[in-house]
Copies of this chain bind each other. A is one copy, B any other.
């Protein structure tokens, strides 16, 4: 996306970046989830659905990701490609399968395995606190479109 040695790419406006983040959240169904605790960092690819407020994912109850989240709910999520990123910091709450809302579970089952019929899984609900959008070094400035859980533009 960047252009070296010629005319630099023009950074998008804040409004365009917010719109891009919301479009990515709504249309993509896979992300990278980074978690960590005293045992060190972990990262997994995982399917998700977005309901306008939260990202709902699922992984195994006995996985390093779930273990990390039970120790430290802070997580970082990346949607997109390394040169076209929507990066989100927030916190994760595990939700037992028996407690998930049916409409969210139905939506999730359309993009992934269905934890309601597959043993050993737990839902993970991620609440965004900060959202950053950039597609190259030229967009590092002004890349934050949500701060403290509020869209800033």
Contacts and interface: CB of A to CB of B under 8 A. Distances in A.
Contacts of A68: 41
Interface string A61-75: 000000010001011
A37 B30 CA distance: 25
Contacts of A83: 30, 45
Interface residues of A, number: 27
A153 interface: no
A87 B43 CA distance: 9
Nearest to A46: B82
Given A45-B83, A72-B40, A78 B113 contact: no
B137 A43 contact: no
A115 interface: no
Interface in A1-35: 30-32, 34-35
Nearest to A84: B45
A85 B137 contact: no
